Amino acid sequence: MDHFAYHAGLLCAEDVPLPDIAASVGTPFYVYSTATLERHFRVMDEALAGLDRLVCFAVKACGNLAVLRALARLGAGMDVVSEGELRRALAVGVPGERIVFAGVGKTRAEMAAALSAGVGQFNVESEQELVALDAVAREMGVRAPVAIRVNPDVDALTHAKISTGKAEDKFGVPIARAPAVYARAAALSGIEVVGVDVHIGSQITALEPFEQAFAKVAGLVETLRADGLTIRRVDLGGGLGIPYVRSNEAPPLPFDYGAVVRRTVGALGATVVVEPGRLIAGNAGLLVAAVIYRKQGEGRDFLIVDAAMNDLIRPAMYDAWHDIVPVVEPGPDAPVAPVDVVGPVCETGDTFARARPLPRLEAGDLVAFRSAGAYGAAMASEYNARPLVPEVLVAGSRFDVVRRRPTYDEMMSRERIPDWLD
């Protein structure tokens, strides 16, 4: 469920008509619904009711400070993968102990920053990282709380570019080797072993991969405890998919995911950490664009909009589907016809949809790309020297620009021409 619906013939974000935002900030723009963010966080938290739990929002999905603050107010922890994301989590008031630092390539500088912030957990991905973290922690006179990320060799049945739990993926330590790595960690004076971590991928639309991976983790926890280690945390990562309004994608409900968690690791008596990103933010955001031209091609029509692949790269990178809807509600009998929805970037890959059935739209009409709140603005770039689009947060009848569109002069001011080129 989200809070984007037609009212009086106009698509609205909560109680704000999207044309009102377009008139204020121009197009394209991202808009997020506070009510949807809050609802999705609560649904995930309630799915794990009865367990000692920590729901950490994956900052990489949508790192806008206002979005993070909206979730922090509800008690969300944060899952970060860089010093920049760590700083964002701290800036919105999330205490260090509710932050998990993940990622395969943490630098020593990032480790030091996270230790200084008192993060509650490092998800360590390799033995070299473990040794480096131990050295940094000893230099600082502290101990680093560690959960080692294990690779369970489970196929998440998702897109190859967002699969993270198979043996050939770059993430984690092979689960068969994990006891030996944990034994090494326990012998390091700068390391405090606190848990086990696993994450098998993103946009997962079946429960079976989770069940397989979590069962393997539960078996590993029992083995490690038998070896004398105190394992008080089980970090299950994120990955539960969302519906992108396509008939062949029907992800399980968070309640059903919670039942799998209870069935597999619930009896361990450990704190369960989950790290949803897309599940919370994905359907809480839209990308709104205006039609520039309608173009008739050889055997197909093109709808050229002012958003592009640099604004929303998921279709180009992942062949991702986003439902595209007119902002002005079409009549019940409005005819539809297939059209390719494309952007103005000089790449054939700058295509959002092919042969998408849509009512007839003309220059100046607004369209909304649904389910764009996760990995939309967060992955945007200034390719083709296009400014980053503004981000807007709505709460009821109010809206605020929470990241403005930069000017061209601001974009160029970050660069300089060396004197020797004069």
Distance, in Å, from the CA atom of 268 to the CA atom of 197, rounded to the nearest integer, reads 14
Contact between 285 and 31 under an 8 Å Cβ cutoff? The reply is yes
The DSSP element (H or E) to which 213 belongs, if any, is: helix 208-226
Distance, in Å, from the CA atom of 140 to the CA atom of 113, rounded to the nearest integer, reads 11
Q: DSSP readout, 271-339?
A: EEEE--SHHHHGGGEEEEEEEEEEEE-SS-EEEEES--TTT--HHHHH-----EEESBPPPTT--EEEE
Contact between 248 and 212 under an 8 Å Cβ cutoff? The reply is no
Distance, in Å, from the CA atom of 361 to the CA atom of 289, rounded to the nearest integer, reads 12
Q: DSSP readout, 48-100?
A: TTTS-EEEEEEGGG---HHHHHHHHTTT-EEEESSHHHHHHHHHTT--GGGEE
Distance, in Å, from the CA atom of 181 to the CA atom of 250, rounded to the nearest integer, reads 38
Contact between 57 and 79 under an 8 Å Cβ cutoff? The reply is yes
Distance, in Å, from the CA atom of 12 to the CA atom of 145, rounded to the nearest integer, reads 45
Termini Cα distance of the chain: 58
**Tokens found for residue 135:** 């050295």
Distance, in Å, from the CA atom of 419 to the CA atom of 51, rounded to the nearest integer, reads 62
Distance, in Å, from the CA atom of 112 to the CA atom of 225, rounded to the nearest integer, reads 29
Q: Any catalytic annotation for residue 12?
A: no
Q: What are phi and psi of 331, to 5 degrees?
A: -70, 160
CB burial class (10 A; 0-12, 13-18, 19+) of residue 40?
A: buried
The set of catalytic residues is: 346
